[in-house]
Chain A
């Protein structure tokens, strides 16, 4: 087990009015327990507001749970976000963006250090971007290319676990497929565990070994992907699956 959650809860207070008095509470995550095995792709699917992004942030440590326990047995955890435009610092060059992870983990070396540049070039190869990308800025790339940069940034430190939060949702469908294939390839080559968060059932099915369906802060069903897609037991899961517009 690389990640273990036990009855995790997180709520946000709802503030009303000028004086910001607490008018209630939103239970973003309302008692979630799950386990993610090593080298697994665990898919977390749900509609907007179900709490999947909050759960992702809790696992990453960006937010702290109000109760329950989160155990992450990986020393290096990385993240890939949805919006490639907002997840890359617009004022930094690509080689600095990708190299930052290395710089932070080995404080003595500078971003220009030859070792770091070599590792960055390796990463560019891995995500199939040309070397000429090194000195460019994010705005000079397309959405799909920016996401590749984000992937390179996540992988350069040899993480054991990566949280992917809607990594392809803002990309065109043909580009989506390319990026998903890239993620799969990287997982296989480098033996990384993924937590894959998405609202798109088609994408989740393509990527995941096991999935959990979230609604209103709770997991309503979880299990191996094949089983859930062919034999959903929960009504909400059934509703979700029926709603996918498919090509008849």
Chain B
């Protein structure tokens, strides 16, 4: 019933002089087929939370405690091999910067089929067919051309769509999106968000959506957790949090957004 269960997760940064408690004892659950949002400003720990779930932490960060259950299995105690099998197939992630997620020296098609080989073991022909199908599904106008293109030949919006296609091609059960539209122009952002909504309805996927933008979160998410300095300060349905915020930080965040809103 809960595709993801996080309990008392702690991820700290150990530098020479200090310990930074970037993720400081957070707990939340994502039900099957829902979109769960984490909203917070820079430094709140939201990205590290996503990376902790995948155990993809950058160097001085370490998971210091807690439990992460993906569909009942304990991720934090898995071996590297087991994790590799899951990443890209059971859980997938789409990052903020479309240009840095793709390797610039390989074509989009090569990178997509590589991921398919690793997780599904299909033949080259079948892998290409599958890739083209997904590139089409994310409304890329000329999938065959994009398949053979290098990342630098594509616009930001197209790259992000391709990243989403690549994240979906192995039929993940949980898709994590970390600020997927922040680096895009506002008109493109709207298109990509509409695409994501379509995919959610179509595919019965569970999604963890991370953003600093309350407007985007309110459009996309069913449940929301508000993070501030490593802790979840408030959590509940998106509707409740926005219409009836209880915590001071949530209120000030919403006020800033409303002050600038249409």
Chain A positions near chain B (C-beta within 8 angstroms)? 47-48, 143, 172-177, 180, 199-203, 205-206, 229, 239-248
Check if B261 sits within 8 Å of A246, measured CB to CB.
yes
Tell me the complex Cα distance, A116–B177, Å: 50
B226 to chain A, nearest CB (A): 12
Chain B positions near chain A (C-beta within 8 angstroms)? 41-42, 185-190, 193, 212-216, 218-219, 242, 252-262
Contact of A245 with B189 at beta-carbon distance under 8 Å, contacts A202-B261, A206-B260 already known: yes
Check if A173 sits within 8 Å of B212, measured CB to CB.
yes
A242 to chain B, nearest CB (A): 7
Chain B residues, CB < 8 A from A175 = 41
Inter-chain CB contacts under 8 Å: number: 76
Task: Indicate which residue in B190, B213, B256 contacts A243 across the interface (CB closer than 8 Å).
Answer: B190
Check if A47 sits within 8 Å of B186, measured CB to CB.
yes
Check if A239 sits within 8 Å of B185, measured CB to CB.
no
Q: List 29 A-B contacts (CB under 8 A).
A: A172-B41, A172-B42, A173-B253, A174-B41, A176-B256, A176-B260, A177-B255, A177-B259, A201-B186, A202-B260, A205-B260, A206-B259, A240-B186, A243-B186, A243-B189, A243-B190, A244-B215, A245-B189, A245-B193, A245-B215, A245-B216, A245-B219, A246-B215, A246-B218, A246-B261, A247-B214, A247-B242, A247-B261, A248-B219
Tell me the complex Cα distance, A199–B193, Å: 18
Chain A residues, CB < 8 A from B214 = 173, 247
Tell me the complex Cα distance, A243–B216, Å: 11
Task: Indicate which residue in B188, B189, B216, B262 contacts A202 across the interface (CB closer than 8 Å).
Answer: B262
Check if A173 sits within 8 Å of B257, measured CB to CB.
yes
Contact of A247 with B258 at beta-carbon distance under 8 Å, contacts A172-B42, A173-B253, A174-B253 already known: yes
Closest Cβ neighbor of A50 among chain B residues: B185
Check if A246 sits within 8 Å of B253, measured CB to CB.
no
Tell me the complex Cα distance, A201–B186, Å: 9
Tell me the complex Cα distance, A176–B258, Å: 12
A179 to chain B, nearest CB (A): 11
Tell me the complex Cα distance, A197–B72, Å: 50
Check if A173 sits within 8 Å of B187, measured CB to CB.
no
Chain A residues, CB < 8 A from B186 = 47, 199-201, 240, 243-244
Task: Indicate which residue in B185, B242, B262 contacts A229 across the interface (CB closer than 8 Å).
Answer: B262
Chain B residues, CB < 8 A from A242 = 190
Chain B residues, CB < 8 A from A174 = 41, 252-253, 256
Closest Cβ neighbor of B262 among chain A residues: A246
Check if A243 sits within 8 Å of B187, measured CB to CB.
yes
